[in-house]
C-alpha cells in the first residue's frame, strides 16, 4: 500500500461536489439537511487540506452526518463521540476535528463526557443538532424536550425539567458556546466558522427540527411562521454609549442571564473566553519532558530506564 | 519442596561477615524464602523490594509475592521474597525465614514457616509460643533499637530498613550493593531521609545477631556468565513492554490493580512524545483510546474487571470498525467490586465473549513478570497486523510481584510508533473482503478521492452502511477469519516434562510458576507429569489436539470457579473445542495464588 504512489502536486479546489458523499438518508424536510449544507459551505470557504478534516459522530439521526461528507470520518457509538474526538484531537494536532450529534447523544447518554470535554477544554468543534426529541428511535422524550411534550415514553406529556444547553455548557467550562437555527444558513456558517477558529472546546447548539416526530417544535422562532428570531447583540468595544447595553461574551453571568430567557430566546455567541486548551498544556508538558530527557531517542530513553532497574 | 532448601555445604567457607562470632560457620544455600509480615505502613514492601532488586543485581533469580490490604493505610500485609541461585518459579509454598513485626503477624504466619525454619521476631512486640520447638527463635528488639538508632521524631519508622540490615548480616548480602540501592532510592529526597535510612541499615547490620543465631548463610554464587538482570513488577514490565511496542497513546481510569500501569504510562509517554490521558470514566477512556487508534496511533486502555465491563460496548465497535486497540485487564477477584486486592483468573470468558454480537478479539495472557514485557510486544504486533482489539489478561499476582529477568535486547525489539498516513491509491477499500483491513487514518490522502468513514454499522467494502444479508455474513466471516489466520502463525506451546505420559497439566497466565514447579517436583519423585502453558488463549494455537492425544488425562488448572458443570473457564473452552472427555478441571477461588502442593494434590490424587 505504501509503495511509490504518484501523488499529484496540484490540489484541486475543495468544492461542494468534492465534499459530497452518500445521499443523506434523513426524512425530507428534516432540519439536519440545512446543517449539512452549512458545513459544506464553511469547508468550501476555508479550503482546508481535505485529508486533514475529520468528521465524527455518535449515534442518532443527526449522527449519520459523517456518511454524507467526503472527509475522513467515524461513526462511533451512542454518547461517546466526545471522548473519541478528544482522542483524535489530542494525538493529532495536525487535524481539524469536527463532531456532530443529537441532543440525546450529547446531553443524555453522553452528558458526563460533555462535561469533561468542556472542562478540559479540548480543542474541537462540536455541533449539537437539537430537535428536542429522540429521532432515530422514533419519538421518545429527550433531555431537551419541553415539559408537556407528548412522546411515546411520556404519553401524557413530559414531566422532567429539561436541560438548558447553554447553561450546561457554560457551567461545564466550554470556552465557546453559541446557539443557532437550522433555518438560518448564514448564521450557522458564521457560528461554525467562529467555533472552528476558536482554540478550545467550542459548541454550537443548532435547533434543527425533526419534522417526523416533533414538527413545529421551533415555530415560535421562525419569522415566516409568526415567530421571532432575535440575535445576540455582541459588544463591539467601540466606546459608544450603545455598546454599554450590548452583550459581553466573556461575561459568564451575563451569558447565564441570556440563557435564562424564555424560549425561543436569543441566537448567537453566548460565551467565548480564552483558556489554555488541554492540547496546548499537554503539548508543553510533553516538550518539557522531552527536553529533560535531552531529546534522546526512544531506544536510549528506555535503555536508561532499564539500566536503573538493574 | 520436601527437601530443605538450606543445604549444608562445608567446602570453602566464605570469610565470616564483620562483627560475627569467629566460630559461626556460614552455610551455603541455593535458595531461601523470606516472608516479612507486618503492617503495610511499615514499608515492608519496600524492604522486600530492596531484597528482590539486590538479588537481581547479583544475578540471582528472585520472585516475590505480596498481599496488600485494600484499606488505604494500615492493615496486615506481607511480602515474601524467594531468592535462588537457580531458576525460581514460584514465590514458595513455605517460608524458610519468617520476620514477624507484630503479634498478629506471628499468629497469622507462623504456620507458613517450614519446620526447622527461622522465626525472626520483634521482641518488643511479639511473644512467641514458648512451647513451640519446631522453629529456631530469634528475638530482636527491632522497635526499640530502631527508635534508639534514629531518635525522636522518626519514631519506629525505619524498622523496615533496620530489618534489612539485620537480614544482610544473616544472609551475608552484599552490603555495598544494598547501600547503593538505598542511596538510589532515597538519594533523590532530602539528605536527611537518606542519612536516616543508612543509619537504620547500619544499626540493623551491626546488631550482634550471631549471638542468638547459630549460623549465618551465604548464597551460592549464581552462574557468573549470567546476563544482566532487570528487576521489576509485572505492571512495570507490561508498561515498558508497551513502550517498546511503539505504543505512545492511551487513556484509562484508576482501579486496583491496573492503576500503576496508567500512572507509569502517564509519566513515561511524554518522554517519548506521547500522551496518556486520565479519563472521566472507563467509557470515556476506551473511547479516547479508540480516537487515538483511529487517528493512527495504536493505543492502550486498561482496567480491572469492573472497568472492562464498562468498556465492552466500545470494544465491540473496535471489532466492527476494525480499529486496532490494546486492552489490558489486570484481573482481580470478582464479580462486582469483589476482592479488589486478591488474585483471580475469572475474566477469561469476559475477555473472549464479553461483547454483544459476534465480535472477534484476540486474548493473550502473560505467564511471568518477564512475559508481561514480551506479551505487550506480541499484542501490539497482532493488533497492527490484524487491525483488531487485543486483550492482555494479567492479574494481581503478576501485577504486584517482583521478579528478576534477563535484560531484553531493546535495540532489536523497539517497534515504530509512527502512524501510517501514506497516501492510499485508487484501489483502496477500507473493508476489502479479500484481504486484511489496513486502516487509513485521517491525514492519509485518498487518491481515489473517496475518503473513508469507519463505522460500527455493518458495511460494504467501502464502508457504506448496509443491511444486506449477504454482506453481513461475508463481513462477519471476514472478521472471524482474522482469528483463524492468526491461529496458524502462533507457536505450538512447548511441553514441560515428558512429551507423553499419564497426565498433562494445562495452565494460562500467572499459574505458570507453581504448575512448572509441581511438574519438576513430581518428576523428581518419579511420577509422570507434564505441562503446557497457553499464552495465546483466543484464538488457541493449532496442534493442541495432537499434544492432548499423547496423554491419558488432561487437567486444566486455573483460579476461577468450576461453574454449574464442574469445569473452570479455560477447561470449558477446551472441552467445547476438542469434545474430549479426558479434559478435567482443577479450580480454586480463595483469592490466593496456587501453591505447588495444591497442584500436586489435585493432579496426583
Ligand atoms: C447504548 C445505546 N443505547 C441506546 C441506543 C438507541 N439509540 C440510538 S439513537 C438514540 C437517541 C437519539 O436521539 P438524539 O441523540 O437526540 O439524535 P436524533 O436521532 O434525535 O438526531 C437512542 C436511544 C443505542 N444506539 N445505543
Ligand atoms: S426522524 Fe426526525 S430527526 Fe430523524 S431524519 Fe426524520 S426528521 Fe430528521
Ligand atoms: Mg434528538
pLDDT digits (tens, 9 = 90+) for B577-603: 999 999 999 999 999 999 999 999 999
| d(CA A261, ligand 3 centre) in Å | 22
Would you say B568 and B561 are in contact if contact means Cβ atoms under 8 Å apart?
Answer: yes
Looking at chain B, the whole-number percentage of residues with pLDDT higher than 70 is: 93
Per-domain residue ranges of chain A: 16-275
Per-domain residue ranges of chain B: 6-226, 232-412, 421-489, 501-604
Nearest CA-CA partner of B256 in B354, B157, B181, B340: B340
- The mean pLDDT value for B94-101 works out to 94
The residue length of chain B stands at: 605
Query: Looking at ligand 2, which residue's alpha carbon is closest to its atom 2?
Result: A210
Kindly tell me the burial class for residue A161, based on how many C-beta atoms sit within 10 Å of its own C-beta (0-12, 13-18, 19 or more).
Answer: exposed
A59 vs A81, A104, A105, B190, CA distance in Å? 9, 9, 7, 55
| d(CA A63, ligand 1 centre) in Å | 9
Would you say B287 and A76 are in contact if contact means Cβ atoms under 8 Å apart?
Answer: yes
Predicted complex ipTM: 0.97
Tens digit of each residue's pLDDT (9 = 90 or more) over B458-497 = 999 999 999 999 999 999 999 999 999 999 999 999 999 9
Q: Does B275 touch chain A (CB under 8 A)?
A: yes
Give the range among A1-5, A71-75, A240-244 with minimum mean pLDDT.
Answer: A1-5
Q: What angle do CA B55, B56, B59 make, to 5 degrees?
A: 90
CA separation for the pair B419, B388 (Å, rounded): 16
Tens digit of each residue's pLDDT (9 = 90 or more) over A147-187 = 999 999 999 999 999 999 999 999 999 999 999 999 999 99
Q: Within 6 Å (CB) of ligand 2, which residues are found?
A: A 26-27, 30, 32, 61, 131, 135, 210-213
Q: How confident is the model at residue B2 (pLDDT cuts 50, 70, 90)?
A: very low
User: Between β-strands A53-57 and A72-75, what pairing exists: parallel, antiparallel or unpaired?
Assistant: parallel
Question: What are the cell numbers at B459?
Answer: 458495511
Would you say A221 and A207 are in contact if contact means Cβ atoms under 8 Å apart?
Answer: yes
pLDDT higher than threshold 90 for residue B309 = yes
Residue B51 has a pLDDT of: 87
- Mind telling me how many Å the CA of B80 is from chain A's nearest CA? 20
- Average pLDDT of the residues of chain A: 97
- Mind telling me how many Å the CA of A292 is from chain B's nearest CA? 8
- The mean pLDDT value for A264-279 works out to 98
Query: Looking at ligand 2, which residue's alpha carbon is closest to its atom 6?
Result: A27
Residue B68 has a pLDDT of: 67
Q: What is the CATH number of domain B501-604?
A: 3.40.50.920
Tens digit of each residue's pLDDT (9 = 90 or more) over B135-146 = 999 999 999 999
- Average pLDDT of the residues of chain B: 91
Q: State CA B231 to chain mean position distance.
A: 12
Query: Looking at ligand 1, which residue's alpha carbon is closest to its atom 24?
Result: A78
Tell me if B6-226 shares its fold with B501-604. Answer: no
| d(CA A136, ligand 1 centre) in Å | 6
Looking at chain A, the whole-number percentage of residues with pLDDT higher than 90 is: 96
Q: How confident is the model at residue B19 (pLDDT cuts 50, 70, 90)?
A: very low
CB A62 less than 6 A from any atom of ligand 1:
yes
Nearest CA-CA partner of B393 in B544, B493, B254, B511: B511
Q: Does B295 touch chain A (CB under 8 A)?
A: yes
Between A248 and B223, the more confident residue is: A248
Q: Which residues surround the ion ligand 3 when the cut-off is CB under 5 Å?
A: A 102-103, 131
Residue A279 has a pLDDT of: 98
Residue B154 has a pLDDT of: 60
Residue B15 has a pLDDT of: 40
Residue A1 has a pLDDT of: 44
Q: How confident is the model at residue A2 (pLDDT cuts 50, 70, 90)?
A: very low
Q: What is the model's pTM?
A: 0.93
CA separation for the pair A56, A45 (Å, rounded): 20
From the CB of residue B444, how many other CB atoms can be counted at a distance below 10 Å?
21
- The mean pLDDT value for B514-541 works out to 97
| d(CA A50, ligand 2 centre) in Å | 28
- The mean pLDDT value for B405-413 works out to 96
Residue B226 has a pLDDT of: 66
From chain B residues 88-107, the ones with a CB under 8 A of any chain A CB are: none
Q: What is the CATH number of domain A16-275?
A: 3.40.50.970
Residue B189 has a pLDDT of: 73
pLDDT higher than threshold 70 for residue A232 = yes
- The mean pLDDT value for B205-216 works out to 84
pLDDT higher than threshold 60 for residue B8 = no
CA separation for the pair B348, B357 (Å, rounded): 17
B52 vs A87, B40, B84, B178, B278, CA distance in Å? 39, 18, 11, 11, 31
Tens digit of each residue's pLDDT (9 = 90 or more) over A60-96 = 999 999 999 999 999 999 999 999 999 999 999 999 9
CA separation for the pair B141, A201 (Å, rounded): 62
From chain B residues 303-342, the ones with a CB under 8 A of any chain A CB are: 313-314, 317, 321
pLDDT higher than threshold 70 for residue B117 = yes
Of the candidates A18, A86, A298, the beta carbon closest to that of B272 is on A298
| d(CA A208, ligand 2 centre) in Å | 9
Q: How confident is the model at residue B155 (pLDDT cuts 50, 70, 90)?
A: low
CA separation for the pair B31, B81 (Å, rounded): 10
- Number of CB pairs, chain A paired with chain B, less than 8 A apart: 203
* Chain A residues close to B423, C-beta within 8 Å: 5, 7
CB A78 less than 6 A from any atom of ligand 1:
yes
Residue from A25, A104, A149 to probe ligand 1 pocket by mutation (most atoms less than 8 Å from CB): A104
Instruction: Among 3.40.640.10, 3.20.20.100, 3.40.50.300, 3.40.920.10, name the CATH number for the domain at B6-226.
Output: 3.40.920.10
Class of domain B232-412: alpha beta
Element (H, E) at A34: helix A32-46
Residue A135 has a pLDDT of: 98
Tell me B138's DSSP state: E
Tens digit of each residue's pLDDT (9 = 90 or more) over A217-227 = 999 999 999 99
Put residue B246 in one of left, alpha, beta given phi > 0 → left and psi -120 to 50 → alpha: left
Amino acid at each position: 500500500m505504501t509503495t511509490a504512489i504518484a501523488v499529484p502536486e496540484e490540489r484541486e479546489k475543495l468544492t461542494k461536489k468534492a465534499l459530497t458523499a452518500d445521499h443523506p438518508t434523513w426524512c425530507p424536510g428534516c432540519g439536519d439537511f440545512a446543517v449539512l449544507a452549512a458545513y459544506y459551505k464553511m469547508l468550501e470557504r476555508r479550503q482546508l487540506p481535505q485529508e486533514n478534516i475529520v468528521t465524527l459522530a455518535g449515534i442518532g439521526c443527526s449522527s449519520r452526518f459523517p456518511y454524507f461528507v467526503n472527509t475522513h470520518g467515524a461513526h462511533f457509538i451512542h454518547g461517546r463521540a466526545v471522548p473519541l474526538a478528544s482522542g483524535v484531537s489530542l494525538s493529532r494536532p495536525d487535524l481539524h476535528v469536527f463532531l456532530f450529534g443529537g441532543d440525546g447523544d450529547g446531553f443524555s447518554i453522553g452528558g458526563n463526557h460533555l462535561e469533561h470535554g468542556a472542562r478540559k477544554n479540548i480543542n474541537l468543534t462540536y455541533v449539537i443538532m437539537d430537535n428536542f426529541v429522540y429521532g432515530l428511535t422514533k419519538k421518545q422524550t429527550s433531555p431537551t424536550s419541553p415539559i408537556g411534550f407528548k412522546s411515546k415514553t411520556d404519553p401524557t406529556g413530559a414531566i422532567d425539567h429539561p436541560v438548558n444547553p447553554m447553561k450546561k455548557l457554560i457551567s461545564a467550562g466550554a470556552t465557546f458556546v453559541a446557539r443557532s437555527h437550522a433555518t438560518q444558513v448564514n448564521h450557522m456558517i458564521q457560528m461554525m466558522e467562529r467555533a472552528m477558529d476558536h482554540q478550545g472546546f467550542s459548541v454550537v447548539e443548532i435547533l434543527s427540527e425533526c419534522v417526523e416526530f416533533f414538527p413545529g417544535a421551533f415555530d415560535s422562532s421562525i419569522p415566516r411562521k409568526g415567530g421571532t428570531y432575535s440575535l445576540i447583540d455582541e459588544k463591539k468595544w467601540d466606546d459608544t454609549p450603545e455598546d454599554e447595553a450590548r452583550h459581553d461574551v466573556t461575561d459568564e453571568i451575563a451569558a447565564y442571564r441570556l440563557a435564562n430567557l424564555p424560549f425561543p430566546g436569543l441566537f448567537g455567541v453566548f460565551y467565548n473566553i480564552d483558556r489554555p486548551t488541554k492540547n496546548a498544556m499537554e503539548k508543553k508538558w510533553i516538550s518539557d519532558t522531552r527536553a529533560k530527557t535531552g531529546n534522546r531517542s526512544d531506544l536510549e530513553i528506555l535503555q536508561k530506564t532499564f539500566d536503573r532497574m538493574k | 519442596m520436601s527437601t530443605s532448601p538450606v543445604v549444608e555445604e562445608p567446602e570453602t567457607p566464605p570469610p565470616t561477615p564483620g562483627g560475627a562470632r569467629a566460630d559461626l560457620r556460614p552455610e551455603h544455600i541455593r535458595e531461601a524464602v523470606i516472608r516479612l509480615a507486618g503492617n503495610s505502613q511499615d514499608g515492608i514492601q519496600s524492604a522486600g523490594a530492596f531484597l528482590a532488586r539486590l538479588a537481581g543485581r547479583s544475578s540471582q533469580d528472585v520472585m516475590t509475592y505480596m498481599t496488600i490490604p485494600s484499606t488505604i493505610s494500615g492493615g496486615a500485609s506481607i511480602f515474601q521474597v524467594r531468592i535462588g541461585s537457580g531458576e525460581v518459579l514460584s514465590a514458595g509454598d513455605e517460608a524458610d525465614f519468617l520476620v514477624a513485626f507484630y503479634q498478629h503477624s506471628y499468629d497469622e504466619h507462623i504456620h507458613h514457616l517450614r519446620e526447622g525454619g527461622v522465626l525472626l521476631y520483634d521482641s518488643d512486640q511479639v511473644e512467641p509460643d514458648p512451647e513451640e520447638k519446631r522453629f529456631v527463635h530469634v528475638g530482636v528488639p527491632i522497635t526499640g533499637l530502631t527508635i534508639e538508632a534514629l531518635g525522636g521524631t522518626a519514631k519506629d519508622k525505619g524498622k523496615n530498613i533496620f530489618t534489612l540490615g539485620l537480614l544482610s548480616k544473616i544472609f551475608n548480602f552484599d552490603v555495598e550493593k544494598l547501600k547503593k540501592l538505598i542511596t538510589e532510592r532515597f538519594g533523590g529526597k532530602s539528605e536527611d531521609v537518606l542519612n536516616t535510612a543508612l543509619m537504620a541499615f547500619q544499626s540493623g547490620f551491626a546488631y550482634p545477631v550471631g549471638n542468638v543465631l547459630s549460623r549465618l548463610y551465604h548464597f551460592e554464587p549464581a552462574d557468573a556468565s549470567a546476563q544482566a538482570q532487570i528487576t521489576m513488577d509485572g505492571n512495570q514490565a507490561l508498561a515498558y513492554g508497551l513502550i517498546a511496542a511503539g505504543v505512545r497513546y492511551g487513556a484509562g481510569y484508576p482501579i486496583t490493580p491496573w492503576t500503576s500501569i496508567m500512572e507509569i504510562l502517564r509519566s513515561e509517554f511524554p518522554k517519548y512524545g506521547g500522551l496518556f490521558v486520565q479519563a472521566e470514566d472507563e467509557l470515556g477512556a476506551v473511547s479516547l483510546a479508540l480516537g487515538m487508534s483511529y487517528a493512527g496511533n495504536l493505543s492502550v486502555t486498561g482496567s480491572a474487571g469492573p472497568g472492562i465491563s464498562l468498556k465492552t460496548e466500545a470494544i465491540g465497535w473496535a471489532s466492527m470498525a476494525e480499529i486496532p486497540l490494546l486492552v489490558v485487564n489486570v484481573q482481580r477477584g470478582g464479580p462486582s467490586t469483589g476482592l479488589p486486592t486478591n488474585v483471580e483468573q475469572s475474566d477469561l470468558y469476559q475477555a473472549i465473549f464479553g461483547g454483544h454480537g459476534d465480535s472477534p478479539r484476540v486474548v493473550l495472557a502473560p505467564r511471568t513478570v518477564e512475559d508481561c514485557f514480551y506479551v505487550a510486544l506480541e499484542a501490539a504486533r497482532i493488533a497492527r497486523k490484524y487491525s483488531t482489539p487485543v486483550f492482555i489478561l494479567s492479574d494481581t499476582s503478576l501485577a504486584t510481584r517482583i521478579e528478576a529477568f534477563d535484560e531484553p535486547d531493546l535495540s532489536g525489539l523497539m517497534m515504530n510508533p509512527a502512524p501510517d498516513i501514506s497516501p492510499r491509491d485508487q484501489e483502496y477499500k477500507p473493508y476489502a473482503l479479500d484481504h486484511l483491513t489496513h486502516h487509513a487514518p485521517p491525514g492519509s490522502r485518498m487518491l481515489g478521492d473517496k475518503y473513508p468513514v469507519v463505522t460500527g454499522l455493518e458495511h460494504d467494502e467501502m464502508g457504506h452502511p448496509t443491511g444486506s444479508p449477504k454482506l453481513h455474513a461475508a463481513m462477519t466471516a471476514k472478521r472471524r477469519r482474522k482469528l483463524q489466520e492468526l491461529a496458524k502463525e502462533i507457536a505450538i506451546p512447548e511441553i514441560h516434562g515428558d512429551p507423553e505420559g499419564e497426565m498433562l497439566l494445562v495452565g494460562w497466565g500467572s499459574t505458570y510458576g507453581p504448575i512448572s514447579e509441581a511438574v519438576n517436583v513430581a518428576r523428581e519423585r518419579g511420577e509422570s507429569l507434564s505441562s503446557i502453558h497457553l499464552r495465546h488463549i483466543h484464538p488457541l494455537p493449532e496442534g493442541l489436539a495432537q499434544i492432548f492425544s499423547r496423554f491419558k488425562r488432561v487437567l486444566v488448572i486455573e483460579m476461577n470457579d468450576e461453574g454449574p458443570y464442574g469445569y473452570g473457564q479455560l477447561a470449558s473452552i477446551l472441552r467445547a473445542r476438542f469434545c474430549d472427555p479426558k479434559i478435567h478441571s482443577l479450580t480454586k477461588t480463595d483469592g490466593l495464588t496456587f501453591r505447588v502442593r495444591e497442584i500436586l494434590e489435585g493432579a496426583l490424587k
